[in-house]
Structure 1
Amino acid sequence: MVFFSGLALCAAFASATALQIPLLSSSHHAPLGHPNGTKSMVNSTELQDLVSGDRLMARAKKMYEIAKLGEEEYNHPTRVIGSAGHLGTLSYIYETILQLGDYYTVSNQSFPAVSGNVFESRLVIGDGVPKSTRTMGLTPPTKDNEPVHGDVVLVANEGCQGSDYPDSVAGNIAFIKRGVCPFGTKSEHAGRMGAVAAVVYNYEKDPVSGTLGTPSPDHVATFGLSGEEAGPVLKKLEKGKRVDAIAYMDAEVNQILTVNIIAQTSDGDADNCVMLGAHSDSVTEGPGINDDGSGTMSLLEVATQLTKFNVSNCVRFAWWAGEEEGLLGSDYYVASLSDEENQKIRLFMDYDMMASPNFAYQIYNATNALNPNGSEQLRDLYIKWYEDQGLNYAFIPFDGRSDYDGFIRNGIPGGGIATGAEGIKTQKEFEMFGGRAGEQYDPCYHMLCDDVGNVDLTAWVVNTKLIAHSVATYAQSFKGFPKRDLKVAPESNAYTNTAKYHGPKLFM
């Protein structure tokens, strides 16, 4: 694929400081339609019938080729923000929408972000190398990008207060229990007390991964460790025995600019918008064809086919950047909305991971009791569609793990569907959906093997049809859907007090 320098991403809409994104090609196709004219009003069945598995797979293959643009810098395909693979993804999205003519108004929103890259890491505890070791997102390197040595020093409680860290942690490696405060806070306290590295261990047997969030000069190289492998270390430390360790992290953390892409129908009531989104970036470790290439491409497919219809209400598609770094793009977008613009968004639908190979048809269990009014009606739309197709479905927690979080926290009703990430499929779910009980929904979640072979086309087509149904339903009418309540302050939502996550990785 060829980059053409000097072609700015949506230059007509960009500010002078916007990130300049080259397009992948200079070709432009005839527009598929215009919102005015002889086209019929959008119809759910007709829009669903236009969804094509062949086109989705063709997009997946192209997305993987784009991810290969990251190989020179990262030594493997990736679409992490700041990489050539992500720049290529943005170009592909923008060019695809451009080819649809004036059906959409396209804009880009540049925003500052933090990009982290771990080139190499290693953790040795005692005489063993733990298999469950994870590196925290946005972790700094060990000193001079060289190995550091020290004793493992147990931190009191959950390491949320500076007083939890004994003086003996200076020059050594802090061993901290996962708990109720952000991982970044734990790393910061460890650094202030002079630790040369930190290990956050799980109180459950599973591995623990996350991100340190906003960089701090006090952060130290930080690893995650499963509760299972932490257990023997804890026993030795609690008995007063000495455990030594070696930590090595070759990493960098940089400030960059990246871009959200927004495409809104030129027709339709602009004061009543149905909005939907997917994230355009992957993690550093892999190409992200399922997470969230699948959602990105589903939105592109639906946006393309929607041009064959008229709409009554505006439809606004969004491709967020920086989701894997902590919902950066969607947070920035929602925070930039005026109260008036906020109220124009009647609901937000999140489509993250539509094609997991060991899938379950999952619906976020969004209720009006805990979320802005209308979230439950969206949930029920998904339920009815699956039931009408004779398909089983399962509820999953609406707990802040994806880009809906900023919308819900700011009073906008929302919801979405998914097919599963690192969770384990139960025997009951095997009976409901097939696949393999006792294995992850996506065995390649956040890994290099999240490539073209890591998508289930059946699930992908089914969920893309459901996305089309959700768009067609609300693009045609909001009849029966609750109006936005101007009197309800966003901070009054019970959701803000119950969400456990902010993004795809735990912050706590």
Structure 2
Amino acid sequence: RAINTKGFNRTIDYIADYLSINTNYYINKTYFPIRTFQLANNPILLTSINGVIINRTYSTDLTKAEFFHIQYSTAINLTDFTALTVIPNGGCLDEDWLSANPSPMGRIVLVKRGLCDFIQKAAFATTYQAKTLLLYNDGASSDRNNPIFISLDRSNELPALFLSFDLGQELANAFLNSTSNASVCLIIDLVNIPPFPVANICADTPTGDITQTIIVGSHSDSVPDGPGINDNG
């Protein structure tokens, strides 16, 4: 949703005004602050496999990118190459993290897509004190090879990137090969955006039995350059 834009704010005003004019509902707009971040610069990811260092490709064109940033990742300036730990079986269970060798504590963890959602994987990475989370696509079909844009929970405390299937598998294979030496360094540079208000609208019928309440909910979307409802009005 294009929150804190002209389009979104006009949508909120339109809905509240329409309900006030055309219904006898009690209308209440409530506001709460949202804190967020944005990239200050394109993130950097360097990989080292058996001493061969490669500066991996970041691009907003995901068909060309080897990795992409993750919304609500935290910042990191890791200029020393740091060893990886690959988390087996998708990283969706405690035993996946407990069986990882070496332990994920203080290391960069590589976790494949699938079996549970990305927020759960990030929560496990935090619980087991990983230093950084690298997620990668699973290559299960032709549309699951490139990196994708995802969002973690706003409370996420880990730096995180999303890798293509090819890059993730290359790192995983190097890790699993006892004769290889795989490590990465990365920089994610963020700037804080000042908190801004986001509105909720509650419309309550003036009549009826308060012990028999039906709640009907919807969300409104808007695009930054177009005031009004985009879908799900």
C-alpha displacement of 1:182: 3.6
The aligned residue for residue 122 of structure 1 is 43
Contact 2:75-2:188 at 8 Å conserved across structures: yes
Please show how residues 14-93 of structure 1 align to structure 2 within 5 Å.
79-80=2-3, 83=4, 85=5, 89-91=8-10, 93=12
3-state SS of 2:200 partner: strand
C-alpha displacement of 1:221: 0.6
User: Match for 2:198 among 240, 258, 261?
Assistant: 258
Contact 2:11-2:229 at 8 Å conserved across structures: no
Tell me whether 1:247 sits opposite 2:186 in the alignment: yes
The aligned residue for residue 138 of structure 1 is 72
3-state SS of 1:158 partner: helix
For residues 215 and 125 of structure 2, the distance between their equivalents in structure 1, rounded to whole angstroms, comes to 45
Q: Deviations over 1:107-156 (max 9, x none)?
A: 345365754323235141420314142322322222xxx34541232122
Higher helix fraction (1 or 2): 1
Contact 1:152-1:242 at 8 Å conserved across structures: no
Which aligned segments of 4 or more residues in structure 1 are displaced greater than 6 angstroms? 253-256, 271-274
Tell me whether 1:157 sits opposite 2:89 in the alignment: yes
C-alpha displacement of 1:198: 1.0
| Distance change in 2, residues 1:279/1:96 (3 Å) | closer
User: Match for 2:220 among 264, 275, 279?
Assistant: 279
Higher strand fraction (1 or 2): 2
For residues 123 and 109 of structure 2, the distance between their equivalents in structure 1, rounded to whole angstroms, comes to 11
Q: Quick one: higher RCO (CA 8 Å, sep 6+), 1 or 2?
A: 2
The residue type paired with residue 220 of structure 2 is: H
Please show how residues 275-354 of structure 1 align to structure 2 within 5 Å.
277-280=218-221, 287=224, 293-295=229-231, 351=232
The residue type paired with residue 174 of structure 1 is: V
| Distance change in 2, residues 1:262/1:280 (3 Å) | farther
Relative to structure 2, which stretch is displaced further, 111-120 or 154-163?
111-120
3-state SS of 2:152 partner: coil
For residues 92 and 281 of structure 1, the distance between their equivalents in structure 2, rounded to whole angstroms, comes to 7
Listed as ranges, the gaps of 5+ residues in structure 1 are 1-77, 296-350, 353-508
| Distance change in 2, residues 1:263/1:194 (3 Å) | closer
The percent of aligned pairs where both chains have the same amino acid is 15
The aligned residue for residue 13 of structure 1 is none
Listed as ranges, the gaps of 5+ residues in structure 2 are 48-53, 58-64, 140-144, 207-211
TM-score, length-normalised on structure 2? Answer: 0.65
Equivalent pairs counted in the alignment come to 202
The aligned residue for residue 238 of structure 1 is 176
For residues 135 and 263 of structure 1, the distance between their equivalents in structure 2, rounded to whole angstroms, comes to 38
The residue type paired with residue 229 of structure 1 is: L
C-alpha displacement of 1:163: 0.8
For residues 275 and 188 of structure 1, the distance between their equivalents in structure 2, rounded to whole angstroms, comes to 31
Contact 1:116-1:139 at 8 Å conserved across structures: no
The aligned residue for residue 94 of structure 1 is 13
Please show how residues 386-405 of structure 1 align to structure 2 within 5 Å.
none
3-state SS of 1:200 partner: strand
For residues 221 and 205 of structure 2, the distance between their equivalents in structure 1, rounded to whole angstroms, comes to 20
Report which of the two structures shows the higher radius of gyration computed on alpha carbons: 1
C-alpha displacement of 1:176: 0.8
Contact 2:20-2:27 at 8 Å conserved across structures: no
For residues 200 and 192 of structure 1, the distance between their equivalents in structure 2, rounded to whole angstroms, comes to 16
TM-score, length-normalised on structure 1? Answer: 0.33
Please show how residues 417-432 of structure 1 align to structure 2 within 5 Å.
none
| Distance change in 2, residues 1:155/1:243 (3 Å) | same
The residue type paired with residue 55 of structure 2 is: G
| Distance change in 2, residues 1:147/1:288 (3 Å) | farther
The aligned residue for residue 62 of structure 2 is none
For residues 44 and 128 of structure 2, the distance between their equivalents in structure 1, rounded to whole angstroms, comes to 21
The aligned residue for residue 223 of structure 1 is 161
3-state SS of 1:212 partner: coil
| Distance change in 2, residues 1:133/1:94 (3 Å) | same
Q: CA RMSD in A?
A: 4.0
Contact 1:125-1:243 at 8 Å conserved across structures: no
